[in-house]
Amino acid sequence: MGMTMTQKILAAHAGLDKVEAGQLINVRLDLVMGNDVTSPVAINEMKAKGFTDVFDREKIALVMDHFTPNKDIKSAEHCKQVRQFAREYKIKNFFDVGQMGIEHALLPEKGIVISGDTVIGADSHTCTYGALGAFSTGVGSTDMAAGMISGMAWFKVPSAIKVNVTGKFNKWVSGKDLILHLIGKIGVDGALYRSLEFCGDGIQNLSMDDRFCIANMAIECGAKNGIFPVDEKTLEYMKGRTDREPVIFTADEDAVYDEVINIDLGELKSTVAFPHLPENAHIVGEFDKIYVDQSVIGSCTNGRIEDMRAAAEVLKGKKVNENVRCIVIPATQNVYLQCVREGLAEIFVEAGAVFSTPTCGPCLGGHMGILAAEEKAISTTNRNFVGRMGHPTSEVYLASPYVAAASAIAGYICTPEEVM
């Protein structure tokens, strides 16, 4: 029996010729990542155990993105602690206000993660980097601490689901609709501790930003990781971002998969996930009007430049509904600058939206757009659990930037066709 793409990466990093699903292995890490919420716990644990050094100052990334710029005293103290740790241990990849971006957009952009890497991060959406053909997964803060000390992590080798993608998107449909469709199909535990391995002729029609979005939400159906094959688009994306040579792994022809799911991009339609789970997928237009109080466009899922362009395409020359607050959050400083240079920021502001500094902001109920009781938001973020964006009685509907922008104009959830 052959190995899947994920299994091949894990085998290489474990120094083994072959691994099988269910096998317990110790794996060498290329990167250990944490943020302003999870890193303090890891730092405290590391120091409590008496460790005074890290395994590699260039293979740790600390990104201050969740509650920054600091929303309150506690978040300020967390950032201060991580800042002091980074200085003390001379951590190369430390990103503070002014340099930081949302971690899962920033690290690929900076070339810190590349194809063939094995990455752990104390954040569940670390699976994003699978878009580059890397194995990446979220861990707890104590595992982050162990990784910073040893440069190693242990895993149970996952089995896999093969997602065969064909066709091409229709207008106003994107990677967000694909992943919401998939999660709606298999459920929030449909890929529990399995790798989602995307393949097929349709992959060539997915942009890198689509792939980042899709891999980002692999965790929302319980997957250990999501991963894409490395192709010309992947190599072009990495060009000029890193001095390291990407390592390309491909699944064996006789690789074993638990199941195969076929998705035709041309059959997908604008999709929204209703509260309070990402699996509650519905086609826009097939339900009664749902009025919204807020539209959030951004996050580690949909805060990249293509997402900004998509929102601007819909908002250009239009006005945000008087009953809606529209918050646009570019994922990195580079995306922010691109928005300014391309005139997108002007489009957002003239439409009546807020254009923010990079931050996770309202996605996890942090700041920059907290919902009051019974308010509803349409959002390009990745989770819509009870109380995720604010009050426990508020509601979050997950959608693409196209749908979020159109809904901001209409005042209710709709597709761009209704407002263009």
CB 261 within 8 A of CB 186: yes
The domain containing residue 147 runs over which residues? 5-263
Same domain, 176 and 240: yes
Same domain, 103 and 205: yes
Q: What is the percentage of the chain residues whose pLDDT exceeds 90?
A: 96
Give the pLDDT of residue 193. Answer: 95
**Using alpha carbons only, how large is the chain's radius of gyration in Å?**
20
Of 203, 232, 263, the one marking the end of a domain is: 263
Does the pTM surpass 0.85? The reply is yes
Distances (CA, A) of 280 to 121, 131, 213: 27, 24, 18
Q: What is the CATH number of the domain that holds 329?
A: 3.30.499.10
Going by C-alpha positions, the residue among 33, 108, 102 that lies closest to residue 356 is 102
Mean pLDDT of 385-407: 96
Give the pLDDT of residue 364. Answer: 85
Give the pLDDT of residue 1. Answer: 81
Q: What is the percentage of the chain residues whose pLDDT exceeds 70?
A: 100
* Model confidence at 23: pLDDT above 90: yes
Residues 319-345 have pLDDT tens digits of 999 999 999 999 999 999 999 999 999
Same domain, 307 and 368: yes
Same domain, 250 and 203: yes
Give the pLDDT of residue 404. Answer: 98
Of 263, 290, 308, the one marking the end of a domain is: 263
* DSSP characters over 388-409: TTBSTT-EEEE--HHHHHHHHH
Same domain, 390 and 346: yes
Same domain, 98 and 16: yes
| Alpha carbons 334 and 102: distance in angstroms, whole number | 11
Residues 288-314 have pLDDT tens digits of 999 999 999 999 999 999 999 999 999
- Confidence category of residue 62, pLDDT binned at 50, 70, 90: very high
* Count of domains forming the chain: 2
Residues 88-142 have pLDDT tens digits of 999 999 999 999 899 999 999 999 999 999 999 999 999 999 999 999 999 999 9
Same domain, 191 and 87: yes
In this structure, the strands spanning 60-63 and 31-35 are parallel
| Alpha carbons 286 and 271: distance in angstroms, whole number | 10
- Confidence category of residue 172, pLDDT binned at 50, 70, 90: very high
Same domain, 34 and 99: yes
CB 270 within 8 A of CB 403: yes
Same domain, 257 and 276: no
Same domain, 122 and 233: yes
Of 240, 263, 286, the one marking the end of a domain is: 263
394: alpha, beta or left? (left if phi > 0; alpha if psi -120 to 50):
beta
